Amino acid sequence: MEDIKLKKYVVMSKFKYGDRFILEKQFVNRHSADHYCELMIEENEHDNLEFFLFEQSVAYNDKANG
């Protein structure tokens, strides 16, 4: 069985005037997430769009971590 890599780095965006985040993309490493954001910011497709990085840190259903 093939090992599935966890995409624990989640890039989300939000318009400056909004209160909700939009899922952009998920990555297996931070380097790729950072590079993606750099490209998106450089492209500047939408005005007032901010990018954020979220990292999965807690698995709430994992009893060993609780």
Minimal CA–CA distance to 35: which of 25, 46, 45, 21? 25
What pLDDT score was predicted for residue 55?
95
- Amino acid, single-letter form, for residue 25: K
Residue ranges per domain, the chain? 9-55
pLDDT tens string 4-51: 888 999 999 999 999 999 999 999 999 999 999 999 999 999 989 999
What pLDDT score was predicted for residue 2?
75
